[in-house]
Amino acid sequence: MSTSDLTPMTKIEVVVASDDVAEVSALMQSLGARGYTAITGVAGVGHHGHRGGRLLFNDHDTLTLLVSVVAPDKADGIISGIRPVLDRASGVMFVSPTAVSRPDYFA
Amino acid sequence: MTTVATPARYATVRGWVAASARSIAPHFPIETFIARNPVAGYETLDHEEAMRRIAHDHGVLLTPSEERFRALHTDGRIPLADLVAALHQLVPEARSPHPIVADEFVTTATEVLLQDLLVSPPRAATSTALPTPASGLSPRVHARVDDLTSRWLTALFGDAAWSTPTRGEGMWDAWRRLAALDPTLPRRVRAGIRSTPAEPAAAIDVALEHWGLEGDGAEEFIRAHILAQPGWSALVRHTAAESRSLDLVSLVAIRATLERLLLPAGATLPVGAPSTGRDEEARLSAVATALRADLTVPDVRAALGRILSLTDAYTRLSIWQEAYERRTARALAPASAPVLRTLEETPRPLAQAIFCIDTRSESFRRHLEAAGPVETLGFAGFFAVPISFRPADGAPGVASCPVLLTPRVAVSESSVERDALGRWRRHRTAIAERGRAAHALGESTLAPYAFAETAGWFFGAASVARTLAPRLWSSVRTGMRRAKPTTRVDADVVFSLDERVLYAETALRMMGLVDGFAPIVLVCGHGASVTNNPFASGLQCGACGGHEGEPNARAAATIFNDPATRDALAERGITIPDDTLFVAAQMDTVTDEVTLLEPWAIPASHEMRVLELTRHLETARQANAADRLAGLPGADRDGDAVRETLRRSSDWAEAFPEWGLMGNAAFIVGPRAITAGVDLGRRAFLHSYEAAADPDGTGLETILTAPLVVAQWINAQYAASTVAPDRFGAGPKPLHNVVGTTGVLSGFGGDLRIGLPWQSVGVGRHAHHEPVRLQVFVQAPLARINEIVDESEVVRNLVVNRWITLRAREHDTARWMRFGRYGWETDDLDTTPVTGMPVGDHETTTKENRS
């Protein structure tokens, strides 16, 4: 299978506080995302300096990376919905083109 | 203005709702009541800026009023020296010792700002929350929208036996279907509901279009509706995380639709009154009068105006709050030890007793240490075992760990006495079924009449007995209960060896218990026996998710006694002697009774020692009960203290079974030696910590990112329930009307009450709780603390944004340093005069400046 056999999609990656995951994931799903992957305890360095990874006794204040792949026509809606949330809370969003082999899983 | 209704537009509306929802923290149902800062969403802001936004959004102050602060200053509770120290802390420009000369008038920045604090027109204590269109146009319609929404949500969340309004539909769909049939609504409104869009975000968008709102105005409109009834919004926010059929988008859509349809069709948004600048002129005039300065002289006016521009009403409140907290910090700060002292070898104690960090443990620990050779330690009451617990009676499992955590494993309670267990379980089930049946009968429409006719004689007599002789009633009930068979918990099985070792080592290193083990180590959780108290879970262990700490104490003791775990710990440098036995126990915070949870597991070799320990526990109980009763309203202080606590525990009319965590003010991390023997009045969370036992600092990181966070939640909720009881408190207990298992109303209707009942923070009209921010004292290397503050956003937000005050010192002989705006700075809590500050009372100072 070559990349030309794949179906173009849009990948939306959002890093938010774990406390906000339920709200953001509900928002994504209400706007047409069929699913998402959550990677908890992510770490890195950004606008607010260093952000630690996993905490032993606090799942609430770590960061989670939510990854969702949607049909390009749904991406604008999800981006519009998430932006006001990121205006009020710390977090980042990355949007990029991607391709999938099973488009019916995501459309 | 016209916007194009597209899926992207609805998505933006949903985003505005999600962003606005951060204005109120989720409300946990009262069955698992968890203390939390109701305005936690503002913690990303500096405390002063948050106060400004909260006053704008919620219409309340997050501190006592300026009038109250001034009265406390007059009474001596806030000394002038503390006020000046706070001023210098928050307004660095005021530290300048240089006089300001304007014409013939001579003053200092400190003096001007001090007079501003003392005489300027105070910021109004309360106003209204963010206005909705209806609240400005027609308060009657606004009240109607509140009432209709409240009735709808009460039916949705209550457990009325005769109504199930939603039939599994989404909240918005069910409301559209049923509200369109509501005969109490005008025909025009019902027709309007029938024609609303199927998508709730679209219905909100219709309202935004109707009022001509876009961007920030649209978000503010949505926030106003969310905050019109913050209790219901907080509950829906919590519920939405678990059930997709309930969400804030639907709630806002319902409110916005009702408002739009109930108001006259041609109504337009009211225009807010512009600021006139009169407040600033009044302020300038008040300060000038106090300083006897002549405002007609342009230079004097300009000089005063320039200095006053350094602060505003919220800065003043922030300074007052800081000044108010200094005396509390001074009273609770562990003292510095002398550098030269005799080090004596201490004999091996009879026992070490590990209690929860809960402030209520502080006095019990003090009395237990006085009663006998027992050392005590403080650790979060879930004892580092994040579990869900399945009790032996077959009741549903509960998450027995802080709400910050997801349970890692399910621990079950079981017994080898299968027949006895079966009988006991049937007995428990029968009692529970009887209770449920009686409750269902009481909630139904007609059955209560028949129920009263047939069973009223019995329940009437029982009610009289419960009222007149609560202790006797409780004893009879207890006596009728079937004895529970001996059980064990399977924590040593469900946790893998690696997990057992990880959690055991973490706990021991976090509290500095890595050597010198006593023959008995008591692992003592806590619970509270209360009767007829919807907020009972608020008195249980917060570290166990609002449940009793018994399962965690038993699980932890099981792990610590596990031979394989001990062998692995020894390889990691922690050798627990063979003759050390961990014993699980639970303290009842209402009666002060400590119960050993698995007495059958105590070997003969330790029987005498355990017997001796129980005698000391009983002595501590007597002393602590008397100590606590001295501060409880309505207590018979001359009688038997333990009997009185037993009455409070079983009396269904008792509004003050105990004080809970009232008075909490400090979080102290360090060895017990720095607080031992000091009466902290149950005001401090005490977490044991020895920097030497935690070489890589992970123990301290865990303390500051978990127990400290929970303590701040508790502290913030007690403060908010005290300073804004109508907004963030649950109101007086006698008025409580319980809604299902979710919360309470005050009387018949209105908003769901969040926060603590007034009887948790005050008596009569007077607040008993001092609303101070958490004063944190950590004895550990400063570099280690810096690293944690840098890397943990939650800790950094709390410290840098001044939601807590962090002080630290490396050793017990050092002075406390304070984490300030520019890093660590000396913080002389004894407050000596500083250059540039007035000496003596301000009247004297004024005269000096005039001469």
In tens digits, what is the pLDDT along chain A, a chain of 107 residues? 677 889 999 999 999 988 888 888 888 988 889 999 999 889 888 777 777 777 888 888 889 999 999 999 989 989 988 998 888 777 899 999 999 998 888 87
Contact B404, B709 (CB under 8 A): yes
| B44 SS3 class | coil
Is the CB of B241 less than 8 angstroms away from the CB of A22? yes
- Min CA distance, B530 vs chain A (Å)? 30
Q: Which residues on B lie below 8 Å from A49 (Cβ)?
A: 790
Chain B neighbors of A22, CB-CB under 8 A = 240-241
Asked if B705's CB is within 8 angstroms of A58's CB, the reply is yes
Taking the Cβ of residue B240 and every Cβ of chain A, the question of whether any pair is shorter than 8 Å is answered with: yes
For residue B400, give the nearest of B384, B386, B414, B380 by alpha carbon.
Answer: B386
Provide the pLDDT for residue B368. 98
Count of beta carbons in the 10 Å neighbourhood of residue B18: 27
State which H helix or E strand residue B459 sits in: helix B447-468
Nearest to B755 by CA among B248, B37, B229: B37
Q: What is the pLDDT of residue B1?
A: 47
**What pLDDT sits at residue B126?**
53
Picking from A29, A50, A83, the nearest residue to B15 by CB comes out as A83
B699 touches chain A (CB under 8 A): no
> pLDDT of B323-352, one tens digit each?
999 999 999 999 988 888 777 778 999 999
Beta-carbon contacts of residue B367 (< 8 Å; ≥ 6 apart): B619, B620, B623, B624, B627
- As for the ipTM of the complex, it is 0.87
Q: Is the dihedral of CA B842, B848, B849, B851 positive or negative?
A: positive
Closest listed residue to residue B613, CA positions, set B653, B574, B582: B582
Cβ of residue B14 closer than 8 Å to a chain A Cβ:
yes
Inter-chain CB proximity A83 and B701 less than 8 Å: no
Contacts of B373 (CB under 8 A, 6+ apart): B347, B349, B350, B351
Which parts of chain B sit beneath pLDDT 70?
Answer: 1-5, 124-127, 159-168, 244, 272-277, 442-443, 445, 830-851
Q: What is the DSSP letter of B731?
A: B
DSSP B544: G
Sign of CA dihedral B201, B207, B210, B214: negative
H/E stretch holding B712 reads helix B707-723
Q: Would the CB atoms of B405 and A88 count as touching at under 8 Å?
A: no
Q: Say if residues B590 and B539 touch (Cβ distance below 8 Å).
A: yes
pLDDT at B470: 84
Residue matched to tokens 């990854």: A67
User: Does any CB of chain A come closer than 8 Å to the CB of residue B793?
Assistant: yes
Distance (Å) of CA B141 to CA B128, B260, B273, B369, B769:
16, 10, 21, 62, 37
Tokens 């006797």, located at residue: B472
Query: Which of A26, A49, A88 is closest, CB to CB, to B19?
Result: A88
Query: Please, are residues B244 and A23 in contact by the beta-carbon 8 Å criterion?
Result: no
How many CB atoms lie under 10 A from the CB of residue B271? 7
Q: What is the pLDDT of residues B754-763, one digit of tens each?
A: 999 999 999 9
Dihedrals phi, psi of B337, to nearest 5 degrees? -85, 150
Copy the structure tokens of residue B223. Answer: 């926030």
Instruction: List chain A residues with CB under 8 Å of B50.
Output: none
pLDDT at B834: 43
Nearest CB neighbour to A55, from listed B403, B705, B790: B705
Separation of alpha carbons B819 and B362, rounded Å = 26
Q: Torsion angle, CA of B545/B548/B550/B553, rounded to 10 degrees? A: 40
pLDDT of residue B848: 34
Other CB atoms closer than 10 Å to residue B757's CB: what's the count?
Answer: 25
Left (φ > 0), alpha (ψ -120 to 50) or beta: where does B644 sit?
alpha
How would you class A49 by CB atoms within 10 Å of its CB: exposed for 0-12, middle for 13-18, buried for 19 or more?
Answer: exposed
Beta strand pairing status for B766-767 and B762-763? antiparallel
Closest by Cα among B266, B306, B392 to B107: B306
User: Which residue type, as a one-letter code, is found at position B666?
Assistant: A
Closest-CA residue of B relative to A59 is B405
- For B289-311, letters b (16+ CB in 10 Å) and e give ebbebeeeeeebbebbeebbebb
CB contact under 8 A, A80 and B12: yes
Q: How far is B674 from chain A (nearest CA, A)?
A: 26
| Nearest residue of chain A to residue B385 (CA atoms) | A57
Q: Tell me which residue in B44, B219, B404 faces A59 most closely, judged by beta carbons.
A: B404
Interface of B with A in 247-276 (CB under 8 A): 247, 249
Contacts 24+ apart (CB under 8 A), B244-248: B244/A26, B244/A29, B244/B170, B245/B166, B245/B168, B245/B169, B245/B170, B245/B171, B246/B156, B246/B170, B246/B171, B247/A26, B247/A30, B247/B171, B247/B200, B248/B17, B248/B18, B248/B21
Q: What is the pLDDT of residue B275?
A: 57
Place of tokens 């965590």: B661
Q: Does A26 sit within 8 Å of B709, measured CB to CB?
A: no
Q: What tens digit of pLDDT does each residue of B550-591 get?
A: 999 999 999 999 999 999 999 999 999 999 999 999 999 999
Which residues 794-823 in chain B show a CB within 8 A of chain A? 794
Query: Which of A23, A48, A57 has the highest number of chain B CBs within 10 A, making it the mutation to test binding with B?
Result: A57
Please tell me the distance in Å from A96's CA to the nearest CA on chain B.
Answer: 18
Q: What is the pLDDT of residue B836?
A: 42
- Chain B environment of A71 (Cβ under 8 Å): none
Structure tokens at B154: 């009460």
- Provide the pLDDT for residue B832: 45
Which residues of A fall below an 8 Å CB-CB distance to B?
A: 17, 22-24, 26-27, 29-32, 48-52, 55-61, 74, 76-85, 87-90
B-chain residue closest to A26, CA distance: B244
The residue type found at B296 is: T
